[in-house]
Amino acid sequence: MMKNNSLVTTHTHISYYESCFYFLVWSCAIIYSVYQFYLANNYFDDYYDAYGDFDSGWIWVGKKRDISDQEWLVWLTLVNRLIPYIFIHHFISQIIKVHSNNMILCYWYIVSSIIFLYHCLGTLSMLCAILQPSFLHILTHICSKNTAWTIHILYLFVIHILKTPNGTFQSWLGITDEKHYILTLLMCWIHLRSISHNMDSIDDQFSNSNNFIQKLAYCLYLPTLFLGPLILYHEFVESINQPHEYWNYQRLLTFILNLVRYMFWLYVTELLLHFIYINAIQYHSQVVQNLNSWALYGLGYCMGQFFFNKYVVIYGTCSSLCYLDNIKAPSQPKCIARIHLYSDMWKHFDRGLYKFLIRYIYVPIQKSQKYRYFGKLFASFTCFTFVFIWHGIQMNIFIWTLLNFIGIIIENIGVSIGKSKQYHKILNMYLSSRNTKRLHCMLASPLLAISAISNFYFLGGREIGNIFIQNILYDGSWKSLSILLFFLYCCCHVSVDVKSWELRHIRR
């Protein structure tokens, strides 16, 4: 699916000044487009806020703040509620690790989560969270892989039915919209963990740890219970089976510095929402329709950057809490402004989900296919089908996954051509290594445009995504399209240079 190398296969450096030029042009394009979008926000100066999209903001800023992203608000509220429970969770965990065994630790992980669920969501919701992994364990622990996968996929459809706002499930539980969202979010994460445990159990790689208590501890582990990131079952088992390491000065200092870093980005994001109304404007498609090209591209960049910032803060904070427990969690996403390939975006944004797809879907399907290329194609298709079902069976999610699947296919074809001897022979005959890199970046820039558009469908919905398509394909002139592709070409160079620098840094 996504295990390919870059379309730019050469790591030969172009001149320092040329690299600086690409970086400067790409940075200026981002700044100018965001500024143009900022100017377009004057629509909200005298806006009648009938739906509560804004609050008064921070007093010292003197501007209202965009609070229309309900996901972000709920996440921050949830993290604030978790703070005292997380403190108790870690404190008692350390005592248990010193004086007892892993089984007692697993019991504590379950109990600490049950206590929080009871106080946060109520008795019925707490029982739903406990019964879900228990029910799936009963249904799948003696099944074959194919049967187990069928059950898991069917259960995903059940979860999507339960997600219906103000539906029978929410009415039966008697909970608010916020608690209903948190519960269904929790169920989606638990489901991924149940699949991970089930697949590892069927492979019999962890036969000594395939007990139900350990599975429940894994599914209900408090620091990653609601917001991720996803830790695979075998990683969780390996982490808790490691010899206990006492908290020392270096570990605590690392934790505090990481926490300060993520809190810094939290407040930077909140500050920017006083000036750039990324989320509120998405509810006003006519305003978006009337944006000039630069302002529209600024909106697109800000949508992606805000989404990235959310996951840096949430995943980073939760991973730091796992670090205190000596449990290895995926690291934070890489910045979207320095990634130009589909494969790298999937690999480095949600690393836990990526490893899940590769380990449990892509590799098993590819190995089972007789023909190598068809196996890759079918494995990628199955991965994106699962992503579509897990994220939500909606038209904008379908378009997002479809465009990603097409992009991965194009990238795979490019990589296959790039590995062929004939291709290298032609390149060596007519182009220098520097011009080869320029050619590859030129070929990758249209693919980057498709990647960006696919994300606009995911982040803004079908109507917003259609506006971007219309602007690029129908409303824009050849001149404006050429300018856009040139800036994306500069982005590709920046991405390749940063990736090359990282590879050199790793090898040292």
Is residue 468 a contact partner of residue 453, using CB atoms and an 8 Å limit? Answer: yes
**pLDDT number for residue 133:** 92
Nearest to residue 361, comparing CAs of 388, 397, 324, 323? Answer: 388
The sign of the CA dihedral 48, 54, 56, 58 is negative
Residues 88-115: what's their mean pLDDT? 91
**pLDDT number for residue 141:** 79
pLDDT category at 385 given cuts 50, 70, 90 is very high
Pairwise CA distance, residues 375 & 363, whole Å: 9
**pLDDT number for residue 296:** 94
SS3 track for 460-507: HCHHHHHHHHHHHHHHCCHHHHHHHHHHHHHHHHHHHHHHHHHHHHHH
pLDDT category at 508 given cuts 50, 70, 90 is low
Pairwise CA distance, residues 6 & 341, whole Å: 7
Whole-model pTM: value is 0.91
Pairwise CA distance, residues 87 & 51, whole Å: 36
Query: What CA dihedral angle connects 410, 447, 359 and 315, to 10 degrees?
Result: -170
Side chain identity, residue 444: A
**pLDDT number for residue 210:** 52
Residues 331-342: what's their mean pLDDT? 86
Name the 3-class secondary structure at 65: strand
Residues 102-113: what's their mean pLDDT? 93
**pLDDT number for residue 233:** 94
Is residue 216 a contact partner of residue 241, using CB atoms and an 8 Å limit? Answer: no
**pLDDT number for residue 1:** 59
Residues 393-421: what's their mean pLDDT? 89
Residues 458-466: what's their mean pLDDT? 93
Is residue 368 a contact partner of residue 352, using CB atoms and an 8 Å limit? Answer: no
Pairwise CA distance, residues 233 & 237, whole Å: 6
364 CB-side CA count, 13 A: 15
Per DSSP, what are the bridge partners of residue 54?
A: 66
Pairwise CA distance, residues 42 & 64, whole Å: 12
**pLDDT number for residue 9:** 43
pLDDT at 4 over 70: no
**pLDDT number for residue 150:** 92
pLDDT at 446 over 70: yes
Residues 402-415: what's their mean pLDDT? 89
What's the whole-number average pLDDT of the chain? 88
- Listing DSSP states for 251-316 in one string gives HHHHHHHHHHHHHHHHHHHHHHTTT--TTGGGG-HHHHHTS-HHHHHHHHHHHHHHHHHHHHHHHH
pLDDT tens digits, 40-68: 988 888 888 888 899 999 999 989 999 99
Distance of CA 294 to the CA centre of its chain: 26
pLDDT tens digits, 185-212: 999 999 999 999 999 888 765 444 458 8
pLDDT tens digits, 215-251: 999 999 999 999 989 999 999 999 998 888 888 888 8
Distance of CA 196 to the CA centre of its chain: 18
pLDDT at 3 over 60: no
**pLDDT number for residue 428:** 79
User: Which two three-digit tokens encode residue 260?
Assistant: 């300060």
Contacts of 394 (CB under 8 A, 6+ apart): none
**pLDDT number for residue 303:** 95
Contacts of 56 (CB under 8 A, 6+ apart): 64, 65
pLDDT at 10 over 50: no
The larger pLDDT score, comparing residue 84 to residue 367, is at 84
The full length of the chain comes to 508
pLDDT tens digits, 247-297: 888 889 999 999 999 999 999 999 999 999 999 999 998 999 999 999 999
Q: For the chain, what percent of residues have pLDDT higher than 70?
A: 94
Domain ranges of the chain: 16-44+251-507, 70-242
User: Which two three-digit tokens encode residue 22?
Assistant: 């690409």
